Amino acid sequence: MENRQNPHAVIDGFSVRRTIHIDAPPEKVWRTVTEPELISQWFGQIVLDRVGAGALGTIGWPGERRVPIRVETFDPPTTVSYRWCNEEDPLPETVDEQRSTVFTFTLEAASAGTRLTVVETGFERTGDPDQLMADHRGGWDEELDKLVVLLEGNS
């Protein structure tokens, strides 16, 4: 396996963006960003009521509250987006359109693997956009690095 350092996430306006290369085929990456049991291996523990646009559920990390999440778009095998609530208090029972952000994964076939871009938008609607964007920039660095290790270690 080639030792490649993917670039870090960046803040661009009111969005956070990161593009990485993964030495795995797009089909495998697609499954790992859309199937709850695979997402839970590298990201938060996610539970969805079904697969596809409109699916509802929760996502959370050990020791933290579970937040509501909804699949916004589902266009196999290239684009999937999720809307989730990020405001601390009060945490809504369901996805709140006014207090949520959307993260979108876009997959493209690339030489020897897949180019994956995540863009998270909607921070301007949150109570502390600068802090939340900084937190999520670091989060996308950490979580997508785990995705690379998972997929390249099992290619």
45: left (phi over 0), alpha (psi -120 to 50) or beta: beta
Q: How buried is 96 (Cβ within 10 angstroms: 0-12 exposed, 13-18 middle, 19+ buried)?
A: middle
Residue at 4 is within a domain: no
Q: What is the pTM of this model?
A: 0.93
- Alpha-carbon span 42 to 144, nearest angstrom: 8
CATH of the domain at 134: 3.30.530.20
* Residue the block writes with tokens 């979108």: 104
pLDDT, one tens digit per residue, over 56-98 is: 999 998 888 889 999 999 999 999 999 998 766 667 778 888 8
Q: What is the per-residue pLDDT for 2?
A: 42
Beta strands in 76-138 (DSSP E): 79-85, 100-110, 113-121
Establish if 63 belongs to a structural domain.
Answer: yes
Residue numbers of the chain with a pLDDT score lower than 50: 1-3, 155
Which pLDDT score is estimated for 76?
97
- Residue 85 domain-assigned? yes
Domain that holds residue 75: 12-153
Instruction: Provide the pLDDT for residue 99.
Output: 83
102-131 burial, b at 16+ Cβ within 10 Å, e below that, comes to: bbbbebeeeeebbbbebbbbbbebbeeeee
Question: How many domains does the structure of the chain reveal?
Answer: 1
Residue 3 pLDDT? 40
pLDDT recorded at residue 5: 80
Domain presence at residue 5: no
